[in-house]
Amino acid sequence: MICHIIEGAERAQVFCDKAAEAKKIEECDRFGVKKDRSGILNKTYQMIMLPKFYQNCAHYVRTPAQYKMLEILLMLLQFHKTVTIEKLATVFPQPIRFESRRQSIQRFLLLPQSSIPYLWFPLIKRWVKNSFKAGNKRLIFAIDRTQWRSQNVFVISLIEQKRAIPVYWLLLPKRGCSNLGEQKKLIRPLLQLFKEYQMLVLGDREFHSIKLANWLHSKGIDFVLCQKKGTYIRQENQSHQRLQSLGI
């Protein structure tokens, strides 16, 4: 099996090299640039590789055959810029039938090693360790839910330099708002992943629940949860007041 995959990797590299060479020649002709084509044809185009610690993490949780297949898929993704299994199966350099290639890619993507905890958590943890200063032990997360076509996507993201980096996500089997159980399920994996950091969770009005606030507090997590203007609150030794009346 691994021999076929290694042979396929070599074929994929040759295919990408030739395609890149042809594209380079076409660009030279288009812009009227006179260059020695023999130099272009002899040049080896290297695949743009992932950072070294990405490779180390991916190699650690995979067999040699699985890692080689990952390399081939990344090579094809970078060149063809498509994520459909059918397209990848069409160009995947393995000497078997199309349907067998398609099933092989599908099985590979369904491996436990391709799940979020195996594939993504080690990378994001290492990235946080490398990116944040030694004295900065506070991480800010935002929880959000959006209906994207037929998918109800529930995600928690790390906020860094005005950008949201997805850390963990769920596809809810329903339409509409999330409930407390689903909110706990989304946040709970991060408690172990970032146990060395102080966490702050931001949420919009969907997450205004007192029960969620109490649960976050019990886990030692700071939070800022938006409330509706019509919400009544009571400060110590005072009567209930609407947020709107407080000018908030």
| pLDDT tens, position by position, 167-199 | 999 999 999 899 999 999 999 999 999 998 999
Same domain, 161 and 242: yes
Same domain, 141 and 88: no
- Amino acid identity of residue 32, one-letter, is G
Closest by CA to 199, choosing from 122, 128, 115, is: 128
Q: Tell me how far apart the alpha carbons of residues 220 and 205 are, in angstroms, rounded to a whole number.
A: 21
Total structural domains in the chain? 2
Q: Tell me how far apart the alpha carbons of residues 12 and 93 are, in angstroms, rounded to a whole number.
A: 6
Q: Tell me how far apart the alpha carbons of residues 26 and 18 are, in angstroms, rounded to a whole number.
A: 12
DSSP reduced 3-state for 52? helix
Q: Read off the CATH number of the domain in which 172 is found.
A: 3.30.420.10
Same domain, 94 and 157: no
Phi and psi dihedrals of 203, rounded to 5? -150, 150
Tokens representing residue 197 in the block:
């950091």
Same domain, 38 and 99: yes
* Helix, strand, coil abundance in the chain, percent, nearest 5: 50, 20, 30
Same domain, 139 and 75: no
Q: What local confidence, expressed as pLDDT, does residue 77 receive? A: 85
Domain boundary at 46, 78, 113, which? Answer: 113
| Of 6-10, 20-24, 43-47, 123-127, the least confident | 43-47
Same domain, 185 and 227: yes
State pLDDT tens for residues 131-152. Answer: 876 567 889 999 999 988 889 9
What is the H or E stretch that residue 153 is in?
strand 151-160
Same domain, 138 and 106: no
Domain range for 197 is: 132-246
Which residue(s) pair with 158 in the sheet?
Answer: 141, 165
Average pLDDT in the 164-168 region? Answer: 94
Q: What local confidence, expressed as pLDDT, does residue 27 receive? A: 45
Same domain, 242 and 137: yes
65: Cα separation from own chain's centroid: 23
**In-domain check, residue 119:** no
| Of 20-29, 77-86, 88-97, 202-211, the least confident | 20-29
Give the β-pairing of 163-172 and 198-203.
unpaired
Planar angle of CA 7, 87, 80, nearest 5 degrees? 75
pTM: 0.70
